[in-house]
Amino acid sequence: MDDYKINDTLKELKSKNSKLKKPLENRHEEQEYIFENMTKGFENEDIEGCKSNLEQLKDNSKHIREMMKQQNEYIQTSITIAEKTLNILNEAKTLSCLMDYITDFIDIIVDELTQELKYDITIEEFELLMRFKRKSNVEFHNDDDAKKLPESIPEISKEFKVPLIKVLNALE
């Protein structure tokens, strides 16, 4: 599912689910009515009425099963949307943390511009980090997670892994 289609899919699910609610309630009421008639038929020994009610019950149950299958599809799609949303949020948090570490590293470099650089990083890697930094806004990060960050870099940002590890090592 495309990130941009999540909202559209969610709106569609809400609409489909709301359209299914009343018919399902009606089928449930019909089910209760059929059971009531069957009970009366058994009490009155009306075998033909009971057979008719049994056929109605079978048909009504089939419709309820189909509606439940539809609802299950909606639930499965909702779960997919929830998983996709969580992945997006986790990637955003990871990127935010990484951006803060890059900022710290850039601050160190700026402070030491007049001195000889002691870090094992190429100019190309530094430029790559600068481009990466510009990819996202920085809000917050958790220092405890710093050592786990290289493994959690989202697939879209794997090219930045080597220079990021160097930055994290330089900041230790």
Query: pLDDT of 4-38, one tens digit each?
Result: 688 888 888 889 989 999 999 999 999 999 999 98
63-75: b or e for each residue (b if 16 or more CB lie within 10 Å)?
A: ebeebeeeeeebe
Are 103 and 70 part of one and the same domain? no
Residue the block writes with tokens 């990819």: 135
Are 132 and 80 part of one and the same domain? no
Report the distance separating Cα 124 and Cα 132, nearest Å. Answer: 12
Are 31 and 98 part of one and the same domain? no
Which whole number is the average pLDDT over 145-167?
69
Are 120 and 60 part of one and the same domain? no
pLDDT value, residue 60: 94
Domain stop point among 26, 57, 86: 86
Report the distance separating Cα 50 and Cα 41, nearest Å. Answer: 6
Domain stop point among 86, 113, 134: 86
Residue the block writes with tokens 């309820």: 64
Are 35 and 95 part of one and the same domain? no
Are 37 and 76 part of one and the same domain? yes
Report the distance separating Cα 65 and Cα 27, nearest Å. Answer: 10
The model's pTM: 0.54
Domain stop point among 70, 86, 102: 86
Are 80 and 95 part of one and the same domain? no
Contact 97, 149 (CB under 8 A): yes
Are 101 and 119 part of one and the same domain? yes
Structural domain harbouring 132: 91-171
Q: What is the pLDDT of residues 122-144, one digit of tens each?
A: 777 777 877 777 554 333 444 55
Contact 103, 136 (CB under 8 A): no
Q: How many domains are there within the chain?
A: 2
According to DSSP, residue 45 is labeled T
Burial class from Cβ neighbours inside 10 Å (0-12, 13-18, 19+) for residue 94 reads buried
Report the distance separating Cα 42 and Cα 55, nearest Å. Answer: 15
pLDDT value, residue 143: 52
Report the distance separating Cα 170 and Cα 55, nearest Å. Answer: 77
Are 80 and 7 part of one and the same domain? yes
